[in-house]
Amino acid sequence: MSRTQYINFGLIAKYPNKYDFTPQNINTVRVLDWDWIKRNFTRNLAKDKDGKCWDKFLETKGHSGWWDSEDSFYIAFWEDGRVESKFYSYGGMCGYEFEEFYKADGIENKIDMDIQVKVIKLLNSMVDEKVISEPKKED
């Protein structure tokens, strides 16, 4: 069975991956503006045993009907400098794994494309506004 692929070059041109983010290097950023994080993210009291944490979920919804799954992205910042991020698919039941943003072999459908664009838009804007650092470059 062949795997489907989807790519939207218009969205990629409009929202480029300016800072060469990958799913693997997102966790290497550092928070530069905690006030911004605290205003725009949610304090996660359930994770307080691990330290103070602020997090955010981004989601995409299917457009065709009940069988159309959603993808999501979770990112959390701890005051001690830790960063956690994870992509999910099928309404959070499965992980969504891919190596690079905007590569067709990691994008099966419009929903996958939508979550990748939403994440790049968020991360680019946070770097642009000096809320977080650029990710560490991978060797």
> For residue 11, is pLDDT > 90?
yes
Share the mean pLDDT of the chain.
Answer: 91
Q: Is the pTM of this model over 0.75?
A: yes
Domain contains 57: yes
Task: Answer whether residue 133 is part of any domain.
Answer: no
131 within 8 A of 31, measured Cβ to Cβ: yes
Q: Is residue 136 part of a domain?
A: no
Range of the domain at 89: 9-128
Which pLDDT tens digit goes with each residue over 66-89? 555 689 999 999 999 999 999 998
- 100 located within any domain: yes
Domain total in the chain: 1
| Type of residue numbered 46 | A
The answer to whether residue 53 is domain-embedded is yes
- How many other C-beta atoms lie within 10 A of the C-beta of residue 59? 16
